[in-house]
Amino acid sequence: MDRKNVWKNYTNEQLTELDKINEDYKKCLDLGKTERECVALTVERLRENGYVSLEEKMDGKEALKQGDKVYAVCMGKSIAAFHIGSEPLERGMNILGAHIDSPRIDVKQNPLYESEELAYLDTHYYGGIKKYQWVTLPLALHGVIAKKDGTVETVSIGEKDDDPVFTITDLLVHLASKQMEKKANAVIEGEKLDLLIGSRPLTEAEGLDKDEKHAVKAKVLALLNEYYHMEEEDFVSAELEIVPAGRARDLGFDRSMILAYGQDDRVCAFTSLFALLDVPEVKRTACCILVDKEEIGSVGATGMHSRFFENTAAELLALSGEESELKVRRSLKNSKMLSSDVSAAYDPMFAENFEKRSSAFFSKGLVFNKFTGSRGKSGSNDANAEYLAQIRKALDKEKVAYQFAELGKVDAGGGGTIAYIMANYGMEVIDSGVAVLGMHAPWEAVSKADVYEAYRGYKAFLRNCQD
């Protein structure tokens, strides 16, 4: 099946909307470089559009009714938003689900040390990364520092024009003959991804203890105390993430693409959010769930394996006067979901890793993967043919551009999403998302046309995918 490049068919009106969506998307990427930042931004957008927290509804003992808009947050790292439809919740929901964590480098709990009058933060990488890609880049530090007195300091260093940045050093090529003989996964070892953060010693005039042997570390601690009222012990209860510094940028002479950090999977998360906010009314309750921890197996309290979504569905039914364990199960089983996650774009530079007839291409629309997993479909959700037909009908109704693909050659590798987890409830689920070049690299590329078609496709799904 040959899919056309969608740029060729856009009207001037569509091009104007495309630019608007992509400019907003870039702003969201800049403001949401961690899962906490993504949730905070999502809450802000939801409240601007009339959504209220589920807790507010519960405290006010207000019954849910058609047209109500509510959201629930889990530990500041996952969020589920609902636009209540005219049909009973027991009949199911139309769900857009994406993840908002991205591959990165995390700061350890006892990280600060000095070596040869250089100060470093000890780190542990998160998710699937090529470690050699993260050296010699300008890096930023984002996160929170939780104090024993209950206060929480928000950290974001390296994004403003006058901010300092940080880096991970690499061995100079003149001395790297043995390093260059290593396999790619061993060129840079995980324990050598430590972040260089300082080289200036604290002086006695600035309060240095004359018995202090690590004056550079002491200078860093003095600055942390000045700006964040932080002591070294506070690292224990801090969550600090190292991400590429810099904003999302247009890519190419024609500005047809976006280059940015974290587009896996925030390109699907933010377009899903945009779609939910732009649906005026729905028959089936519309839901957008944005979750944490997908990159490490969807584990933990904020991952898709947790009971957060199931518990939230139970609260919705209770507020609708339908409190029943059986109705919760029916609501989940009768739901339909797009597991909105990115796919690998065909890369002519690495054509040997793709099977061209079953690949996703830039500027050919929203990508559907009937299954993901690896090799013999291991670890995948294999969507039903009948559900695919419903999806095609829903998108064709609004002339959305879409394509079907697999993630590379059969024996080349593979990957997973949250689809199989939600399928455990018996609901219909299929993977859908945007094709990405350089997936999991510090900087990833997408087509603006695909961002636009994802937004249009997700909106069409919420409106048109009915029984």
Residue 60 has a pLDDT of: 78
Residue 414 has a pLDDT of: 61
Q: Please give the average pLDDT of every successive group of 10 residues along the chain, which has 467 residues.
A: 88 97 98 98 98 90 90 97 94 96 97 97 96 98 96 96 97 95 94 97 87 92 93 96 98 98 96 96 94 93 95 94 90 94 93 89 93 67 86 94 82 71 92 95 98 97 84
Residue 466 has a pLDDT of: 75
Strands 257-260 and 195-198: unpaired
**Residue 95 covered by a domain:** yes
Q: What is the value of pTM for the model shown?
A: 0.94
Residue 2 has a pLDDT of: 74
- Segments forming the whole domain that contains residue 40: 6-102+261-464
Asked if 291 and 178 sit in the same domain, the reply is no
Residue 25 has a pLDDT of: 98
At 153 the three-state DSSP class reads strand
Cα dist from 93 to 338, 461, 465, whole Å: 11, 11, 10
Number of domains in the chain: 2
Question: What b/e sequence results for 281-305 when a residue is b if at least 16 CB atoms lie within 10 Å of its CB, and e otherwise?
Answer: ebbbbbbbbbbbbbbeebeeebbbb
Residue 267 has a pLDDT of: 98
Identify the burial level of 110 via C-beta atoms within 10 angstroms of its C-beta, where 0-12 means exposed, 13-18 middle and 19 or more buried. Answer: exposed
Residue 459 has a pLDDT of: 96
User: Which CATH number does the domain housing residue 194 bear?
Assistant: 2.30.250.10
Asked if 67 and 158 sit in the same domain, the reply is no
Nearest in space to 18 (alpha carbons), one of 454, 463, 461? 454
Strands 104-115 and 118-126: antiparallel
**Residue 221 covered by a domain:** yes
Domain boundary among 209, 244, 279: 244
Asked if 270 and 185 sit in the same domain, the reply is no
Asked if 98 and 121 sit in the same domain, the reply is no
